[in-house]
């Protein structure tokens, strides 16, 4: 099916706005629908002022399945967890392609999804969904009807660790991930935790154990370890994941502590080769390990507003540990950018289309 017209359901949120920003620059498609329950009739640029454009005089409208069916070939869902599984089956039934940015179709194991989130009502499509990480699932994405975009924390951790799992360089039962994220990860609803006087000057531990992205990371790393096949219970890899909120607006830095296989003495060139081999044809993965300057390893400052994921590492010979890092923009490569990259693959467009802009510096 040719993709020409797309809709964004939940377009008034932060991720919805970033989606619109990227899609409005796409040379092959047109945004024909942008929905919002509370802003019907208002211009999109009233809520997302950066999107003021003579080309797009788009207004928010209420979700209407018949109108979406008539006006769209593909729909992005930028709506809360639990809501997507109510809408997705209806969209698929009328022949639309769906790219979902909620967690509803990420976790293959229904019991694990329900442990971390809530009861799942659409197990049939859960089994059919494709995990929307192009670097791991490009071939499945090409023919998918339902694509589930990864969580931002999960994506950053997977990018940092995947090559080392693939080359069997690290222990897989004691992976420790420390992830720091900006305030945009909380969405655009005001809460005490996002209130500026409380967020400012703070590094706030907010989910030190039991973070719901843990099972997502374990699922995909187990998939790699199992020869690019899913394992029923994801028991091949065990991850300890901790998250902190820091005083930036956007961006994630995941610092991953990985213990080298017993009796394996790693040289730096072995790890470099693992990363370069795994990501050699990936347009949005950048390997950062410089000898000069102040930005010698990945830093979120350098990827704000981009679809790049910067990865790097250091080897700690004192306790035979690799410290692997990944920096990405939680709103772009961690959400909207990955979604559009998946659409480009699905639609047989150039994969980099509308995603090649560089970061601002300083």
Residue 356 counted as domain residue: no
User: What pLDDT, on the 0 to 100 scale, is given for residue 235?
Assistant: 76
**For range 84-113, the mean pLDDT:** 96
- pLDDT digits 0-9 by tens, 228-259: 999 876 678 999 999 999 988 899 999 999 99
Whether residue 52 sits in one domain with residue 193? no
Task: For the chain, give the mean pLDDT.
Answer: 93
- pLDDT digits 0-9 by tens, 20-35: 999 999 999 999 999 9
User: What pLDDT, on the 0 to 100 scale, is given for residue 189?
Assistant: 61
User: What pLDDT, on the 0 to 100 scale, is given for residue 266?
Assistant: 87
Whether residue 291 sits in one domain with residue 187? yes
Whether residue 195 sits in one domain with residue 143? no
Whether residue 229 sits in one domain with residue 267? yes
Whether residue 285 sits in one domain with residue 166? yes
Q: Which of 152, 256, 326, 342 is catalytic?
A: 152
User: What pLDDT, on the 0 to 100 scale, is given for residue 1?
Assistant: 76
Whether residue 142 sits in one domain with residue 60? yes
Parent domain of 129: 5-150+333-346
Q: Kindly give the residue spans of alpha helices, DSSP state H, lying in the chain.
A: 14-23, 44-47, 65-71, 84-93, 110-116, 123-128, 134-141, 152-166, 196-199, 214-225, 268-278, 337-346
- pLDDT digits 0-9 by tens, 48-77: 999 997 677 899 999 999 999 999 999 999
* 326 in catalytic set: no
User: What pLDDT, on the 0 to 100 scale, is given for residue 79?
Assistant: 95
Residue 299 counted as domain residue: yes
- pLDDT digits 0-9 by tens, 307-344: 999 999 999 999 999 999 999 999 999 999 999 999 99
Whether residue 246 sits in one domain with residue 112? no
Q: What is the CATH number of the domain that holds 262?
A: 3.30.360.10
Residue/partner pairs of 23-29 with CB below 8 Å, 24 or more apart: 23/340, 23/354, 24/51, 24/53, 24/55, 24/56, 25/354, 26/340, 26/349, 26/353, 26/354, 27/353, 27/354, 28/3, 28/4, 28/347, 28/349, 28/353, 29/3, 29/4, 29/5, 29/343, 29/347
User: What pLDDT, on the 0 to 100 scale, is given for residue 28?
Assistant: 96
């Amino acid at each position: 099916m040719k993709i020409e017209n797309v809709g964004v359901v939940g377009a008034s949120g932060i991720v919805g706005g970033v989606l619109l920003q990227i899609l409005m620059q796409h040379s092959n498609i047109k945004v024909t629908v942008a929905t919002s329950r509370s802003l019907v009739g208002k211009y999109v640029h009233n809520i997302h002022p950066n999107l003021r454009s003579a080309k797009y005089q788009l207004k928010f409208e209420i979700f209407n399945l018949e109108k979406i069916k008539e006006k769209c070939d593909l729909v992005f869902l930028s709506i809360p967890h639990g809501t997507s599984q109510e809408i997705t089956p209806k969209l698929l039934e009328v022949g639309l392609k769906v790219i979902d940015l909620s967690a509803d179709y990420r976790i293959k194991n229904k019991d694990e999804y329900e442990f971390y989130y809530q009861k799942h009502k659409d197990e049939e499509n859960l089994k059919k969904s494709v995990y929307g990480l192009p670097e791991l699932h490009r071939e499945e994405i090409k023919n998918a009807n339902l694509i589930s975009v990864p969580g931002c924390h999960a994506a950053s951790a997977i990018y940092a660790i995947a090559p080392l799992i693939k080359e069997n360089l690290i222990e897989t039962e004691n992976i420790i991930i420390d992830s720091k994220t900006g305030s945009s990860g909380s969405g655009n609803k005001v809460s005490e935790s996002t209130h500026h006087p409380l967020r400012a000057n703070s590094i706030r531990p907010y989910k030190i154990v039991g973070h719901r992205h843990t099972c997502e990371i374990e699922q995909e790393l187990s998939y790699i370890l199992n020869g690019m096949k899913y394992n029923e219970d994801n028991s091949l890899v065990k991850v300890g994941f901790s998250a902190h909120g820091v005083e930036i607006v956007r961006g994630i830095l995941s610092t991953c502590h990985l213990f080298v296989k017993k009796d394996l003495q790693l040289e730096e060139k072995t790890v470099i080769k693992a990363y370069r081999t795994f990501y050699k044809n990936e347009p949005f993965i950048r390997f950062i390990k410089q000898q000069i300057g102040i930005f010698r390893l990945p830093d979120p400052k350098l990827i704000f507003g981009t679809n790049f994921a910067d990865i790097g590492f250091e080897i700690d010979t004192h306790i035979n540990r690799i410290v692997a890092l990944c920096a990405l923009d939680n709103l772009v490569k961690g959400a909207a950018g990955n979604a559009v990259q998946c659409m480009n693959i699905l639609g047989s467009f150039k994969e980099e289309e509308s995603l090649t802009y560089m970061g601002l510096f300083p």
